[in-house]
Amino acid sequence: MAEPAPLLEIRDYSLSISTFDGVLKVLDGINLSIAPGEAVGIVGETGCGKSITVKSVVGLVPSPPARVEAGSVRFDGRDITSADEATIRRIRGQEIAMIFQDPMTYLNPLFTVGRQLRDVIQAKDRLKPQSERRDKRSIQAKAVELLSQVHLPNPERQLDAYPHQLSGGMRQRVLIAMALAGAPKLLIADEPTTALDVTIQAQILDLVKDLVERLGMAVLVISHDLGVVAAICQRIVVMYAGTVVEDATTEALFENPKHPYTRGLLAAIPRLDGSADSLASIAGTIPNLIDPPRGCRFHPRCAEAGETCRQAKPPSLEGAPGHWVACHIYGGGVG
Amino acid sequence: MALFVIKRVALLGLMLIGLILIMFTISHVAPGDPAGVAAGPDATAEMIEVIRKEYGLDKPLPMQFWIYLGDVFQGDLGRSIRTTHDVTDDLLRYFPATFELVGVAMLIAIFFGVPLGMLAAVFRDKGADHAIRFVSVSSVALPMFWLGLLLQLFVSLKLGWLPLGGQIGLMTERPEPITHLLLVDSLLRGQFETFREAFAHVILPAIALSAPALAAIIRVNRAEMIEVLHQDFIVTARAHGISSFRIVAIYALRNAMIPTLAMIGLRFGWMLGGTVLVEGVFDWPGVGLYAVQSAVNSDFQPVMGATLLIGFSFMLANFAIDIAYGWLDPRLREAG
């Protein structure tokens, strides 16, 4: 049986950013693919490149200073690796939508929610032929519909509110509503709940999950929190210092983590039934990306690293079906 | 919004009384005896005493202040010894010309400064940015009167494009006053030839007067735009495919305009002060020239009147800017 063609496919993608101190090798040979309707999560520490991967793919990283060194990006059958600004904006407007970390700062404080939402609806309408564009009244109606879709109470009234008059959770709902305006095929959620209270986090996660199932769109969730990703996603990609170290179904990853880094991450999740004396952590800090470690980028922090790990970059091997690991020791079904 | 405006109007009233108090105090504790000056160098002590009584200068200071305050609010600013006219009448003659000059200069500064600042921010570190910054730095570096002289020499004398000075030709028929502003009145009365001529006269002095403000507005607006364009909500707008023009000219500009407005308000006051020099160079019949001549002649009432008027215009301009803040920023509106 042939696999469905992936909606988004990132192959051997490497990205560097020039800074005053030198060239940061931010991404090194990233592989990532998402099937239509699939929910995939990317996890990793702050600075591991998870955010910049997606931002770069949709053209939100200014170039220069950023530069694609190698690899390709295909979306919905088209190669968009070096697409021009107009093309990428068209895709961003219509087919890929994004929601971001801090709902506080991602809405313009000087414009009403309604104005911003209507502008987004209009911007997406502009990509359609003249005859399908909405008039003022139906734009307004669409805005109300979007807000009720994200379960914002009193949608008509909220349209006249300014961002500072809404709570964090409400603002995130508004941002999700904006993302839905163009009926996207892929929703990218970059740390969607990090800035929110725990109870609100759960509500927003439920909302995203519900929307993804109802609207049949694919979703890519980026988080440093395995719990958040596991709540929504069927598959999880673990990133470390600009490389993908493990790629597996949520179930496989939790039950049978292979890569030492993944195991470290899982061990670092505090458990209610465990000892509360101290929290587990992975020793060391993320490496300097101007001069990344040779070989496996994780080897300086890996207790099991051997000579090969210091010399050669580990290839990503499929040990069990659909379970990819980039590790000299545990890759390829060993261990 | 109503509360926001009411509060600021009340503040305006208080500030006006404060301004009068400070001005009054300075002019009355300053050395020099107005009665003596008014009586002339050969006056006897009795004559000075008579004048002192006549002007009410023998009364205690608080009493004098109270009387002065009452007079000011009735539009009576005293009489000029030099021109022998009522100060109010003199100011009514001279102030509109100054107001017109400052108004045109401010419009030039805003209409060129804001877009140039915006362009410089969008094309940061590119050719356009460097060119705009060159203009901005040169405008600050050249003193106003010097720039005025250069403009006169080049544009008026060498090229002969625009008149050398004055507000309007001597022979030109002036329109019946409505607002006392020459440009506005000639338009309202339909005298387009007069308007054209008055406009030709105002261009050079207005350019000279606007230069420092233009530079300041470019600098502030550029810096603010650069900062705003790095904000998260700009990423949101970009991520949803909103056009770059809308993002820059509407989303970002509105945010950047708040600090820019503060600079505009400040510059308005500096401009009113700067008119003294520019009016001198261009022989512009304005209040700056009038105030200087009065001060030189120890003629107190006109100096106080002119100071009051300039101070009050400054306050009004900043009041207008406060209101604009409220209009731009919903958070300020609510804070009241």
Task: Report, as an integer, the average pLDDT of B199-218.
Answer: 90
Instruction: Give the residue from A87, A101, A119, A126 with the most B CB atoms within 10 Å of its CB, the best one to mutate.
Output: A119
The CA–CA distances, whole Å, from A252 to A21, A180, A316 equal: 40, 31, 16
Task: Report, as an integer, the average pLDDT of B210-222.
Answer: 92
**Cβ-based burial of B171 (10 A; exposed 0-12, middle 13-18, buried ≥19):** exposed
Distance CA A260, CA A305 (A): 10
Token pair, residue A254, equals 């939790």
Inform me whether the pLDDT recorded for B138 exceeds 80. yes
Cα nearest neighbour of A188 on chain B? B239
Inform me whether the pLDDT recorded for B292 exceeds 60. yes
For chain A, say whether B251 makes contact (Cβ under 8 Å): yes
Q: What is the pLDDT of residue A278?
A: 64
User: Smallest Cα–Cα separation from B260: which of B104, B117, B128, B105?
Assistant: B117
Instruction: Give the residue from B1, B123, B124, B236 with the most A CB atoms within 10 Å of its CB, the best one to mutate.
Output: B236
Q: Say whether B251 and A179 touch across the interface (CB within 8 A).
A: no
Smallest Cβ–Cβ distance between B241 and the set A92, A100, A110 belongs to A92
Q: Say whether B254 and A100 touch across the interface (CB within 8 A).
A: no
Neighbours of A114 (CB within 10 A): 22
pLDDT band at B227 (very low <50, low <70, confident <90, very high): very high
User: Smallest Cα–Cα separation from B162: which of B124, B129, B200?
Assistant: B200
pTM score > 0.90 for this model? no
Q: Hey, is B242 helix, strand or coil?
A: coil
Q: Cβ neighbours of residue B300 under 8 Å, at least 6 residues apart? A: B27, B34
Which residues of chain A does B242 touch, with a Cβ-Cβ cutoff of 8 Å? 93, 119-120, 123
Distance CA A64, CA A73 (A): 19
Please state at what angle helix B300-328 crosses helix B253-282, rounded to 10 degrees.
160
Instruction: Give the residue from A95, A96, A110, A175 with the most B CB atoms within 10 Å of its CB, the best one to mutate.
Output: A110
Please indicate whether residue B244 or residue B102 has the higher confidence score (pLDDT): B102
Q: What is the pLDDT of residue A333?
A: 47
Q: What is the pLDDT of residue B336?
A: 63
Q: What is the pLDDT of residue A1?
A: 41
Smallest Cβ–Cβ distance between A93 and the set B240, B251, B255 belongs to B240
Distance CA B250, CA B257 (A): 10
CA end-to-end distance (rounded Å), chain B = 8
For chain A, say whether B230 makes contact (Cβ under 8 Å): no
User: Smallest Cα–Cα separation from B213: which of B133, B257, B282, B274?
Assistant: B274
With residue B239 as reference, give the H or E element that holds it: helix B232-239
Q: What is the pLDDT of residue B244?
A: 84
With residue A310 as reference, give the H or E element that holds it: helix A307-311
Q: What is the pLDDT of residue B225?
A: 93
Q: Hey, is A77 helix, strand or coil?
A: coil
What are phi and psi for residue B293, nearest 5 degrees? -65, -40
Domains of chain B: 87-335 (1.10.3720.10)
Q: Along the 335 residues of chain A, how does pLDDT read in single tens digits?
A: 446 688 888 888 888 888 888 888 888 888 888 888 889 999 988 778 888 888 888 877 877 788 888 888 888 888 888 777 778 877 877 788 888 877 778 889 999 999 999 998 888 887 777 777 788 888 888 889 888 888 888 888 888 889 888 888 888 889 888 888 888 889 888 888 777 777 888 888 888 888 888 888 899 999 888 888 888 888 999 998 888 888 988 888 888 888 888 888 888 877 666 665 666 777 777 777 788 888 888 888 888 878 888 888 888 888 888 888 888 887 754 44
Q: What is the pLDDT of residue B216?
A: 92
Token pair, residue A126, equals 């502009």
Q: Say whether B251 and A108 touch across the interface (CB within 8 A).
A: yes
Q: What is the 3-state secondary structure (H, E, C) of A45-75?
A: CCCCCHHHHHHHHCCCCCCCCEEEEEEEEEE
What are phi and psi for residue A246, nearest 5 degrees? -155, 145
Which residues of chain B does A98 touch, with a Cβ-Cβ cutoff of 8 Å? 239-240
Characterize A193-218 residue by residue with b for buried, 16 or more Cβ atoms within 10 angstroms of its Cβ, and e for exposed. bebbeeebbebbbebbbebbeeeebb
How far does the CA of residue B263 sit from the closest CA of chain A (Å)? 20
**Cβ-based burial of B245 (10 A; exposed 0-12, middle 13-18, buried ≥19):** exposed
Task: Report, as an integer, the average pLDDT of B315-321.
Answer: 88
Helices (H), A32-167: 50-57, 85-94, 113-125, 136-149, 155-158
Q: CA dihedral defined by B35, B41, B47, B53, rounded to 10 degrees?
A: 0
pLDDT band at B228 (very low <50, low <70, confident <90, very high): very high
**Range in A52-56, B48-52, B173-177, B285-289 with the lowest mean pLDDT:** B173-177
Q: What is the pLDDT of residue A334?
A: 46
Q: Say whether B232 and A105 touch across the interface (CB within 8 A).
A: yes
What are phi and psi for residue A44, nearest 5 degrees? 160, 170
Distance CA B16, CA B312 (A): 7
Token pair, residue A174, equals 């508004």
Inform me whether the pLDDT recorded for B43 exceeds 80. no
Please state at what angle helix B127-141 crosses helix B87-122, rounded to 10 degrees.
150
How far does the CA of residue A122 sit from the closest CA of chain B (Å)? 9
C-alpha angle B116-B119-B123 in degrees, rounded to nearest 5? 140
Q: What is the pLDDT of residue A275?
A: 61
How much is the CA Rg of chain A, to the nearest whole Å? 21
- Residues B10-25: pLDDT tens digits? 988 899 889 888 888 8
Distance CA B299, CA A173 (A): 68
Query: What secondary structure letter does DSSP report for B286?
Result: S
How far does the CA of residue B252 sit from the closest CA of chain A (Å)? 9
Q: Of A125-129, B115-119, B121-125, which one has max mean pLDDT?
A: B115-119
Cis geometry, peptide bond prior to residue A65 (ω within 30 degrees of 0): yes
Q: Hey, is B322 helix, strand or coil?
A: helix
CB A127 within 8 A of CB A92: no
Q: Hey, is B67 helix, strand or coil?
A: helix
Distance CA A326, CA A17 (A): 24
Q: Say whether A108 and B255 touch across the interface (CB within 8 A).
A: yes
CB B283 within 8 A of CB B61: no
The DSSP annotation for B130-196 comes to HHHHHHHHHHHHS-HHHHHHHHIIIIIIIS--S-SSSSS-TTSPPPPPSSS-HHHHHHHTT-HHHHH
User: Smallest Cα–Cα separation from B259: which of B320, B328, B206, B310?
Assistant: B328
Distance CA A258, CA A246 (A): 8
Cα nearest neighbour of A107 on chain B? B233
Smallest Cβ–Cβ distance between A106 and the set B233, B254, B328 belongs to B233
Inform me whether the pLDDT recorded for B109 exceeds 90. yes
Can you tell me the ipTM of this complex? 0.74
Residues across chain A:
335
Which residues of chain A does B226 touch, with a Cβ-Cβ cutoff of 8 Å? none
Distance CA A254, CA A267 (A): 10
